[in-house]
Amino acid sequence: MAEAAILRVRHCGADIFCRRAPPCCPACGCPLRNAGLGAAPVRLPSPFRHGHHQPRAFLLRPTVGSFLGGYDGKSDLHVGITTSNGVVYNYNEEGVQRAETGWEQCLSIPLVQPDMFGLLQQWDQLLDEFSVGEAWLPHRYEEHDHNCYTYALAFINSVLTAQGKQQMSKLEFTEKFVIPQTKKASKYMTLHQELTANDVYIVPLPGQEKQC
Inside any domain, residue 40 = no
Residue 151, amino acid: Y
Mean pLDDT for the stretch of residues 32-40: 78
Inside any domain, residue 5 = no
pLDDT of residue 177: 96
Inside any domain, residue 148 = yes
Q: How far is residue 88 from each of residues 56, 61, 78, 82, 102, measured CA to CA in Å?
A: 9, 12, 11, 4, 9
Inside any domain, residue 17 = no
Residue 124 structural domain: 51-168
Mean pLDDT for the stretch of residues 126-149: 96
Inside any domain, residue 85 = yes
Measured distance CA(98)–CA(88) in Å, rounded: 5
pTM above 0.85, yes or no: yes
Q: Helix axis angle, 117-131 relative to 148-162, nearest 10°?
A: 140
The number of folded domains in the chain is 1
Inside any domain, residue 65 = yes
pLDDT of residue 156: 97
Residue 40, pLDDT > 90, answer no
Residue 197, pLDDT > 80, answer yes
pLDDT tens figures, 82-115: 999 999 999 999 999 999 999 999 999 999 988 7
Q: Where are the alpha helices (DSSP H) in 132-178?
A: 148-162, 170-173
Inside any domain, residue 83 = yes
Inside any domain, residue 36 = no
